[in-house]
Amino acid sequence: MPKVTVASNSKFDKNAPCIELLKQNGFEVSLTANDAFSQGLTGDDDVIEKLKESDAVIAYGEYYTSKVLDNLPNLKVIARLGVGFDKIDMQSATQNSVAVTITPNGNHQSVAEHAITLMMSLAKSIVKKDTLLRNGEWNGDNNRPIRGQTLGIVGLGRIGRSLATRARGMEMNIIASEPYPDMKFVDDNNIKLVEFDHLLSNSDFVSIHSPLNEETKGMFNKQKLSLMKKSAYLVNTARGGLIVEKDIIDILQNNMIAGAGLDVFEEEPTSHQNPLLKLDNVIVSPHMAGNDIQSQIDMGNEAAQSIIDLYNSKWPEGSIVNKEVKETWNW
């Protein structure tokens, strides 16, 4: 019987639909049920130990280094929850004939909703006003509108497109930077495609939805951040490594932009001593944008279905990251 491990935290539902789906299709399923493991805090040896008998894993926040992959000869599939795969050594995965899948349809709406939430909270000073009111100060000073403002979306993949449709409903003007745009979507939603620097200089809100890779790492550095309007807000629900953290701290401390809404950080979990957490022009959340209740169910089912398809020799084209592994891969 093929074995699947779910890299779950201690609160994971043991009767989750994805587990039932796997069991119904003949898989033996085990859960790590370990918060530190699912956050990638336990190290290579622990990952190897927990997955040494697994044929496939539904992965969360743990790291799949070359050492890990070289020492898991039974592993055939890493089914990553979400669309990020920056914690997986992709070259080593391919060399070890491990198929890596993502869940592109599972949480794009949740992430878009969270980006909107951060934008609204920043514009309306929700956190700041909440704190003032709880401390006895009735301060209803003017706040910023959303309607009529220019939203710059960096990356028009599924998440960026989901954000665009919601922003359009709020009567925002949308510009975007995207190397491979869906032109029908762009035209249908009256989106203006612009260069990255132009987007930064002309947006009232900048929302980041790019993947993290060698080309995009640190793309929001001090030089680029300095192009933003002093009145603009930056929102990041993608990956912390897209922003040079020391640079955004400097920009925010010196009020060179109005504020930021950050769901992700360079290192996660971030330290409670992180200077970003001390700034009153920053709203933060613990990398939760894609994790609403429905999205967790959808992502789990999508990851499980990719494993089932691969076991049955069906290649899930839309979910496979390292497509080149097909030449050497087998169950």
| Catalytically active residues, by annotation | 239, 268, 287
Edge-to-edge strand order for the sheet containing 3-6?
28-31, 3-6, 56-59, 77-80, 99-101
The CA-atom distances, in angstroms, between 144 and each of 119, 151, 221, 231 are 10, 14, 26, 10
Using CA atoms, how far apart are residues 202 and 7, in angstroms rounded to an integer? Answer: 42
Please name the residues in contact with 117: beta carbons below 8 A apart, sequence gap of 6 or more: none
**Residue 226 contacts residue 256 (beta carbons within 8 Å):** yes
Provide the 3-class DSSP secondary structure of residue 127: helix
Q: What is the DSSP-derived secondary structure letter of residue 243?
A: B
Helix (H) or strand (E) holding 175: strand 173-177
The CA-atom distances, in angstroms, between 60 and each of 7, 46, 136, 163 are 6, 15, 42, 24
**Residue 141 contacts residue 120 (beta carbons within 8 Å):** no
| Distance, CA of 290 to chain centre | 7
| Distance, CA of 289 to chain centre | 7
- In the numeric block, which tokens belong to residue 122? 């920043």
**Residue 109 contacts residue 163 (beta carbons within 8 Å):** no
Please name the residues in contact with 193: beta carbons below 8 A apart, sequence gap of 6 or more: 175, 176, 177, 178, 181, 186
Q: What is the dihedral of CA 271, 273, 279, 283, to 10 degrees?
A: 20
The letter for the amino acid at 32 is T
